[in-house]
Amino acid sequence: MAHRNSESRTAPEPGRLSWNRYGKSRVRLVRVRRTRDPHELVDLTIDVQLEGAFDAVYVDGDNSPCIATDTMKNTVYALARRDPIDHVESFAKRLADHFIAEPAVSAVRISAIEHRWDRLAPHAFVQPGGEQWTAAVTRDGAGTVITAGLTNLVVLKTTDSAFSGFPRDEYTTLPETEDRILATAVTAAWTYRAGTTDFAARDRIRAALVETFAGHHSRSVQHTLYAMAEAALAACADVVSITLTMPNRHHLLVDLKPFGMDNPNEVFVATDQPFGLIEATITRSRSGA
Other CB atoms within 10 A of residue 16 CB: 7
Catalytic-role residue among 24, 73, 98, 216: 24
Contact criterion met (CB below 8 Å) for 45 and 25: no
Query: How many residues appear in the chain?
Result: 289
Cα torsion angle, 103, 48, 97, 284, sign: positive
Note if 24 is an active site residue: yes
Kindly give, in sequence order, each residue whose CB lies less than 8 Å from that of residue 105, ignoring residues fewer than 6 positions away: 50, 51, 52, 67, 99
Question: Concatenated DSSP letters for 256-288?
Answer: -GGGT---SS--EEE--SS--EEEEEEE--GGG
Residue in 69, 75, 151, 243 annotated catalytic: 69
What is the three-class DSSP state of 62? Answer: coil
Active-site residue flag, 283: no
- Of 73, 87, 216, 250, which is the active-site residue? 250
For residues 191 and 283, give the distance between their C-alpha atoms in angstroms, rounded to a whole number: 10
Does residue 250 have an active-site annotation? yes
Positions marked catalytic: 24, 69, 250
